[in-house]
A and B are shown apart, each in its own frame.
Chain A
Amino acid sequence: MYNFDFEQPASVEAAVAALQAEDTLPLSGGQTLIPSMKQRLNAPAKLVSLTGIDALKGVSVDGGTLTIGAATTHATVAAEATAYPALAALAGGIGDPAVRNRGTIGGSLANNDPSACYPSAVLGTGATVVTNAREIAADDFFDGVFTTALEEGEIITAVKFPIPEKANYQKFEQPASRFALTGVFVAKTADGVRVAVTGASEEGVFRWTEAEEALSANFTPEAVDGLTASADGLISDLHGTPQYRASLIKTLTKRAVAAA
C-alpha cells in the first residue's frame, strides 16, 4: 500500500474542510477501502477518518422515521435498529462479526458495490440519504456500479428510513465473499410496495417495478407467480448466469413477501 497522511477530525465541519485537499478520501470502517488500497486500486494522498466524529454515530427513532448516523457500524445497527427489524436483520447478515464491528452504513452506501446489502434496503424502503450539503432521495442516489450522486468532498452524514408496515430482506449468499449473489428487499408501506434487487444487475441495485405493482394490489407470494424477471443486463460470472440470477430474483421476492 502506498503511504498517505492520516487525519482524524472530531466534527463534520472539520472533516469536510479536510476533504477539500487534493486526492483526499474519507475513511469510515475501512472494510472496503483498506483492502482496495492494499491492491493499489485506490491510492489517496490523504485519508480523513470519520469514525472519531460522534455526531455521525447512532440509531434513533422519531415518529415513523429511523435515522442512522453514517459512521454507525453494521453491528450497532443489528443490535439497535429494533424499530425496523428487517433492517437490523440485514445489517446482522453482512459479512462476518469482525467486519460488522468496523464496517459502516455510510461507507457501504458511498461505495455502492453492485452486490452490497444496504443499497437494497435504502432503495427498497425509499429512504433519504443525508449529506453535509443536502438530502438525496434513494431513487436519485444510486447511479450505477460503484457510482453515486455524491460530489467530490461530499460526505454522507445519516440515512433516514421511513419505517414500513412490513419488510424483509432475502440474501442468497455467495459463500466465498459472503456478499449477495442476489438479494431482494421488499417493503410494504401505506403508499404501496417497493422491491429492490441487489447482486444481480450490471447497473447495480434496481427496483423490480412489475413485482411492485403486483404486490401493491395483492401482498402475497402468489402475486408474482405470473411474472418473469428479465435476464437482460444481469451479471454473468462464475457464480451464476443472468438466467440463474433472474430466477433467484423471483424466488427471493416470493420468500421475502412470505417472511415479511
Chain B
Amino acid sequence: MTEVKMTVNGREVSGDVEGRTLLSTFLRENLGLTGTHVGCDTSQCGACVVHVNGKAVKSCTMFAQEAAGADVATIEGQAGADGSLNTIQQAFQDYHGLQCGFCTPGMVMSAAALLKENPKPTEAEIRNYLEGNICRCTGYHNIVRAIMAASGQDVPAVAAE
C-alpha cells in the first residue's frame, strides 16, 4: 500500500492504495464519493468522468497514484453547499435530461468541461463532445437540450428522429 494525497472538490484528502487502485475506486471506496459511477469495463461508457486538473477524464481508466497531487472535481462538488443544483444540473432536471440517472454524473461532468472550453456550443458540437458518454434511456435529445439551456441559448425543439 502507498499513501496518495490529492485535492477532491476543494478538500485535501489522502488514503492508502495499491498499484491497481483506479481513481474511480479511490473516489468511491476510500472517500465514499459514490456519485462517480462505473458503468463498463472497457473505458467506453463515460459514467465515471471526473475532472483532473480541469480536464475531463475517465476515472476508471487512470490509477489513483497517477492523480497524486492533482486537483480532482467530481459530481459531488457541483451543487452548492446548501444542496442547490448548479446551472447544468438544474437544466438536466428542467429539460428531463435523465431517466434512470446512471450516466448523469458523467454527463454533467462532461457538459461542464465542454462549457468551460466552449461556452456557446452548437447542437452538433454538444453531440460530438458527448461521444464518450453513453446513455441508454434518453436517446440524448433531452441531454443536448439541457446543455443548450445551461449555456444560455435557445433550446431547439429537437426532433426525435
Contacts and interface: CB of A to CB of B under 8 A. Distances in A.
Given A5-B19, A35-B41, A47-B19, A99 B132 contact: yes
B44 to A, nearest CB: 8
Given A6-B19, A95-B132, A97-B129, A102 B61 contact: yes
Most buried by A among B44, B55, B62, B66: B66
Interface in A26-43: 27, 30-31, 34-35, 37-39
B63 interface: yes
Given A95-B132, A97-B110, A30 B20 contact: no
Secondary structure at chain B's binding surface: helix, strand, loop or mixed? mixed
A75 to B, nearest CB: 7
Interface string A81-100: 00000000000000111110
A133 B42 CA distance: 33
Contacts of B65: 6, 8, 49
Given A31-B61, A39-B41, A98 B66 contact: no
Contacts of A8: 65-66, 68
Interface residues of B, number: 30
B105 interface: no
Interface residues of A, number: 29
Interface string A167-207: 00000000011100000000000000000000000000000
A22 to B, nearest CB: 16
B91 interface: no
A34 B62 contact: yes
A99 B113 contact: no
B131 interface: yes
A51 B130 CA distance: 26
Given A75-B55, A98-B57, A102-B58, 17 more contacts: A5-B19, A6-B19, A6-B65, A8-B65, A8-B68, A34-B22, A34-B43, A35-B41, A35-B43, A37-B20, A38-B41, A95-B131, A95-B132, A97-B56, A98-B56, A102-B61, A102-B62
Contacts of A75: 55
A35 B132 CA distance: 15
A46 to B, nearest CB: 8
Contacts of A47: 19, 63
B58 A98 contact: yes
